[in-house]
């Protein structure tokens, strides 16, 4: 997923006022900034104006990165030393997010010689991960995260070691499936705890938006670094090393994360809150937001599976990493840009614009006649991934009751994985039948459906 798993999120129109000073204005890609601008109607800096200003001796004030990006939101956010420690401490235990599925696939394929069995084992792990997320989320909402993180980390580590042992001993497929399934059931929900912490913490709306933007970039980075670490471990001589490395990251990282202060910041269990057997799903807005997440994730999967298919059609699979980087790097940069400012329109409108951008980008990728054009289309498309993920998290956090917000985010994780799986399954069938461009056109269709769905989600801000 280039999600964590990749419109110019946060583009800012620049205008010169009558005194020649740079002003930030306009709606940018996601709508107007607080305090001004009119999007495409914003003033344009003409060459004639600049020429006359220079002729009059006025100092040159060309746009710079500093003028385009206001990093004060991040400086304010990370002035909190404990929050810096929490974010840094969350990276190590989350690297297995991008490592486990690939590591298990390579391990089982090397042990059995069968990609089919490897796919079954990896699928068992992902299915268990999806099943346990809402259950663990509800448990945390009702009892807090303190007593659950370390036992889950221990169970996950032991289960991964069990998969490696079963593969090394040449045991039959049921042993591999069972160990992988247990590993998925015991995966510690570090990302979910952090997102719930941001929702429950006493933060300003701008701080919360910046925090969620950083969170989306961290997850995106885990999806980029995870496969790279597995590949490096494979070069060390054994497919088992990648799985063992992931187990080590969990065993070391979760106890360190538990000591950063994140669990304390998550807050207290709201014991007086009214509980319902549906949890956050009893809220109509939450259900609609999660439905939107499912549509978006399906589009992600359709888009992602087309990338290696295109490279294979070209006869050069070495380009796969380049194309994924072209999607992921703009996603991370745009995500950070999006988090620097408060945007005026409600989140459902911001999401609408983002999915339309992704639909257009997927069509551009489908029509690319060569590798360079495909890479450019990837750069264009990737700009919307990071802001979209951030906006979806902000929307769900605003709609979910605080007493069930952890479970709400775990449902989001479940549907995100389900949508990715559906998209990649459907994309694989489309590629097999009609070629790589069919999957990208289907991705554009999924994003168009998401655009139709977005206005039905209640309009909220990130407050």
313, pLDDT greater than 80: yes
* pLDDT digits 0-9 by tens, 138-180: 888 778 888 889 999 999 999 999 999 999 998 999 999 999 9
CA dihedral 111, 116, 119, 121 (to 10 degrees): -50
339, pLDDT greater than 70: yes
Domains of the chain, each with CATH number or no CATH: 1-6+279-463 (1.20.1250.20), 70-269 (1.20.1250.20)
65, pLDDT greater than 60: no
**Higher per-residue pLDDT: 11 or 180:** 180
* Closest by Cα among 273, 225, 256, 311 to 401: 273
Which range has the worst mean pLDDT, 20-24, 158-162, 374-378? 20-24
Give the C-alpha separation, 73 to 338, whole Å. Answer: 11
* Closest by Cα among 399, 367, 377, 281 to 322: 377
Mean pLDDT score, 306-316: 87
Q: Token pair 């509980």 is at which residue?
A: 275
| Mean pLDDT for the chain overall | 79
Nearest 5°: phi and psi at 344? -65, -50
10, pLDDT greater than 60: no
What is the pLDDT at residue 271?
Answer: 55
Beta bridge partners of 14: 24
Q: What is the pTM of this model?
A: 0.69
For every residue of 81-137, DSSP letters joined together read HHHHHHHHHTHHHHGGGGTHHHHHHHHHHHHHS-HHHHHHHHHHHHHHHHHHHHHHH
CA 199 from centre of chain: 17
Give the C-alpha separation, 339 to 299, whole Å. Answer: 23
Would you call 22 helix, strand, or coil by DSSP? strand
223, pLDDT greater than 80: no
Mean pLDDT score, 193-215: 79
């Amino acid at each position: 997923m280039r999600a964590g798993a990749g419109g110019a999120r946060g583009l800012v129109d620049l205008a010169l006022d009558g005194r020649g000073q740079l002003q930030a204005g306009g709606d940018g890609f996601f709508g107007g900034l607080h305090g001004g601008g009119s999007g495409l109607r914003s003033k344009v800096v003409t060459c004639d104006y600049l020429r006359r200003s220079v002729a009059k001796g006025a100092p040159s004030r060309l746009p710079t990165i500093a003028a385009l990006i206001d990093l004060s939101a991040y400086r304010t956010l990370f002035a909190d030393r404990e929050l810096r420690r929490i974010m840094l401490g969350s990276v190590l235990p989350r690297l297995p997010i991008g490592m486990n599925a690939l590591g298990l696939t390579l391990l089982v394929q090397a042990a059995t010689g069968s990609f089919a069995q490897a796919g079954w084992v990896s699928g068992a792990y992902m299915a268990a991960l999806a099943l346990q997320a809402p259950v663990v989320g509800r448990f945390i909402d009702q009892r807090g995260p303190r007593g659950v993180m370390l036992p889950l980390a221990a169970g996950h580590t032991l289960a991964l070691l069990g998969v490696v042992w079963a593969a090394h001993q040449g045991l039959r497929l049921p042993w591999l499936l069972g160990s992988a399934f247990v590993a998925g059931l015991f995966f510690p929900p570090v990302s979910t705890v952090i997102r719930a912490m941001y929702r429950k913490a006493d933060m300003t709306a701008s701080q919360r938006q910046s925090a969620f933007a950083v969170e989306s970039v961290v997850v995106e980075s885990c999806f980029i670094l995870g496969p790279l670490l597995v590949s490096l471990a494979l070069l060390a001589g054994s497919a088992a090393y990648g799985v063992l490395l992931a187990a080590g990251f969990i065993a070391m990282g979760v106890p360190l994360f538990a000591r950063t202060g994140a669990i304390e910041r998550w807050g207290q269990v709201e014991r007086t809150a009214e509980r319902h057997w549906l949890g956050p799903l009893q809220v109509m807005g939450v259900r609609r937001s999660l439905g939107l997440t499912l549509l978006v994730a399906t589009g992600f999967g359709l888009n992602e599976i087309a990338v290696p298919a295109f490279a294979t059609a070209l006869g050069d699979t070495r380009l796969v990493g380049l194309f994924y980087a072209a999607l992921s790097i703009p996603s991370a940069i745009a995500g950070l840009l999006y988090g620097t400012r408060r945007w005026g329109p409600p989140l459902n409108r911001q999401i609408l614009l983002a999915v339309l951008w992704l639909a257009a980008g997927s069509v551009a990728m489908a029509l690319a006649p060569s590798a360079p054009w495909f890479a450019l289309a990837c750069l264009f498309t990737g700009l919307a991934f990071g802001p979209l993920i951030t906006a979806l998290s902000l929307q769900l956090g605003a709609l979910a009751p605080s007493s069930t917000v952890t479970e709400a985010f775990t449902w989001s994780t479940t549907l995100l994985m389900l949508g990715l799986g559906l998209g990649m399954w459907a994309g694989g069938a489309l590629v097999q039948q009609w070629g790589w461009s069919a999957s990208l056109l289907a991705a554009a269709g999924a994003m168009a459906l998401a655009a139709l769905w977005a206005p039905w989600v209640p309009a909220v801000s990130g407050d």
